[in-house]
Structure formats: C-alpha cells, structure tokens
C-alpha cells in the first residue's frame, strides 16, 4: 500500500518532495486538485466536499494506507470531520471503506502548532479560510498557553505560485507582512503549502533595515517539519507502516492538466515525473 499526499494544488509537492527525501523507500502518490485550486477563499462546505472526494480517491482507487492532507486550508476545514468519518466504526463493525481496513488521515496543522511551543510572539500567514477558521491559534494554545498570536491572510500568493509568477509577488508579500511589523514576533508560521516557495522573498523583506524588529525571526516552514514528524509517526504506528510497500515509486495525479501544471510539477517535485490526469 502507498502513502498518499493531497493538496488543493501543486504547492504540496514541496512537502511531498521533502517527505520522499527523508523516506525514499516507500511508494507515494500525490493528488493535486488543480481544477479547483485555490481552496483558500472557498466556503467551509466546499473545502470539505472537495477534500473528501480527493481523500476518498486516494484510499479507494490508489489503495493508500495513510493520507497526508498537506493543504492547511483542508486541514483546518475538513480534517477532523474526515478522520471521524473514516475512523469511526460503522454500525456494521468496520470503517466506511470496503474491506473494513483501518486507514489514517493526518494533517499539517497540529505538527506545525507543536513547533510553536518555544516562542512567545507568533505570526501566522495563511489563506483566508485557514485564518478565518482560527485553527492555528486554537492548536498553538494547546501547546503554548501564553503565546501571543497574530494572523494575516495572503490571498494572492497561491494564484501567483500556481501560475508560476513568483517574481511578481514582492509587492503583495510586503503588504501581507505589514501587520506583523512592530509586533516583536519571534516566529512566523508559513501556514500554507505554497508559501515556502516565497521563503527567500519573505526573508528579504523581513531583513530590510526599516523592518529590523523582524530580522531575527524564525520562519516555521512545513517542508522542514512534516517529514520528520511523519517519520516519527510511522515508527510509532507499525500497524500502518507494516502495510506500506517499499518500491521507491512516486506518481503525481492532477484534476486538471495545463502547461503550467507540467512545468511546475517538474520544478517543485524536482523530478521528471509526468503528471496523470484523473477525474472522480
């Protein structure tokens, strides 16, 4: 069985690539919902419905033993409900999946919140959906009761990234970081799959002398966190790990195929894997 990685678009490939680097032995299948990205400005209901469709596909059609919901918006809006749906035994004594096999669904929000334990003043940059859900502050306070938390959404960064227009992002990044200036932040969470792409630009802005107060800030980036957390999880959950096949393969599935999808897949996953178009 495989490890499934799901994202609303292609940004999650950066996390997928980092996971595969740490654990190359397993078989991976990535699903990017490129037809419906971005999720960040959609209703709670739509995000849940789309996420359920994608996760279900990975379980039923791709035979995944575990699915990582790499998308923060989906982790905030849909994860708990999906975990309940898949993991709660049905009245017939098995999970809703055929065969009653137990599967796992993990998100990226809680592992990221755990990383915030040592900081006092924390900024969260996320999509509108993630910020409005207030999930990051709630989860961070479970590990760090006294944290001062400030949030801002960065709605233009995902479309710019998915279009491959990273170099045009600077004015937007400046604007989105503005509310954090003078907050004496110790850490800034890049709370969206696509933001690590802008890491250097974000660092550059934070380091300009006029923004000196933010110069030493720690950037909390999920591509640096999730692989290790997943590795630890798999060590602790042998009931899942023992089901995973180890042929070192990776496949990329998308719900819409464009030139930009093909280009970015190669750029962000770092390998020449041809994405395959699927439909539900």
Residue closer to ligand DGL (CB basis): 10 or 240: 10
Q: CB of residue 225 vs ligand DGL: minimum separation in angstroms?
A: 13
Residues with Cβ within 8 Å of 115's Cβ and at least 6 positions away in sequence, in order, are 220, 225
Interacting residues toward ligand DGL by CB under 6 A = 7-9, 11, 37-40, 71-73, 127, 130, 158, 192-194
Kindly tell me the sign of the dihedral angle through the C-alpha atoms of 94, 99, 102, 106.
negative
Q: Who's near 99: CB < 8 A, 6+ residues apart?
A: none
Q: Which CB, 73 or 144, lies closer to ligand DGL?
A: 73
Is 7 a known ligand-binding residue? yes
Compute the distance between CA of residue 126 and CA of residue 123 in angstroms, rounded to an integer.
10
Question: Is 99 annotated as ligand-binding?
Answer: no
- Beta strand 64-69 with 2-7 is parallel
Active-site annotation holds for 116: no
- Residue 72 annotated as part of some ligand binding site: yes
CA 160-163-169 angle, to 5 degrees, is 25
Least spacing, CB of residue 153 vs ligand DGL, in Å: 10
Q: Closest Cα to residue 197, out of 18, 50, 48, 76?
A: 18
Q: Distance (Å, rounded) from C-alpha 100 to C-alpha 74?
A: 25
Residue number closest to ligand DGL, CB atom: 40
192 is catalytic: yes
Q: How far is the CB of 54 from ligand DGL (least distance, A)?
A: 12
Q: Is 39 annotated as a binding residue?
A: yes
Cα 195 from Cα 179, distance rounded (Å): 17
Nearer to ligand DGL, 71 or 264 (CB): 71
When the beta carbons of 95 and 221 are compared against ligand DGL, the nearer one is 221
SS (HEC) of 52-93: HHHHHHHHHCCCEEEEEECCHHHHHHCHHHHHHHHHCCCCCC
Q: Cβ 272 to ligand DGL, closest distance in Å?
A: 23
Select 95 or 153, whichever has its Cβ closest to ligand DGL.
153
Minimal distance in Å, beta carbon 157 to ligand DGL?
9
Among residues 54, 64, 116, 192, the one annotated as catalytic is: 192
Nearest to 126 by CA among 48, 203, 40, 26: 40
Give catalytic residue positions.
Answer: 71, 192
Annotated binding site for substrate: 7-8, 39-40, 72-73, 193-194
Q: Which residues are annotated as a binding site?
A: 7-8, 39-40, 72-73, 193-194
């Amino acid at each position: 069985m495989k490890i499934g990685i799901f994202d609303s678009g292609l940004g999650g490939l950066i996390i997928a690539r980092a996971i595969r680097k740490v654990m190359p032995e397993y078989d991976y299948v990535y699903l990017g919902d490129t037809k419906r990205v971005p999720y960040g400005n959609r209703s709670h209901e739509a995000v849940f419905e789309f996420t359920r469709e994608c996760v279900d596909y990975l379980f039923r059609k791709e035979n995944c033993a575990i699915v990582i919901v790499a998308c923060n918006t989906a982790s905030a809006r849909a994860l708990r409900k999906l975990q309940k749906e898949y993991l709660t035994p049905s009245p017939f004594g098995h999970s809703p999946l055929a065969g009653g096999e137990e599967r796992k669904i993990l998100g990226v929000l809680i592992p990221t919140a755990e990383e915030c334990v040592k900081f006092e003043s924390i900024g969260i940059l996320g999509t509108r959906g993630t910020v409005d859900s207030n999930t990051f502050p709630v989860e961070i306070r479970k590990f760090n009761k006294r944290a001062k938390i400030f949030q801002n959404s960065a709605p233009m960064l995902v479309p710019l990234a998915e279009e491959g227009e990273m170099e045009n992002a600077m004015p937007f990044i400046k604007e989105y970081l503005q509310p954090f200036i003078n907050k004496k932040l110790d850490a800034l969470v890049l709370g969206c799959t696509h933001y690590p792409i802008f890491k250097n630009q974000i660092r550059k802005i934070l380091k300009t002398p006029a923004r000196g107060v933010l110069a030493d800030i720690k950037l909390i980036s999920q591509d640096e966190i999730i692989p290790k957390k997943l590795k630890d999880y798999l060590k602790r959950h042998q009931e899942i790990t023992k089901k995973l096949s180890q042929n070192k393969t990776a496949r990329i599935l998308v719900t819409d195929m464009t030139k930009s999808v093909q280009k970015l897949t190669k750029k962000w996953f770092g390998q020449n894997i041809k994405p395959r178009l699927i439909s539900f």
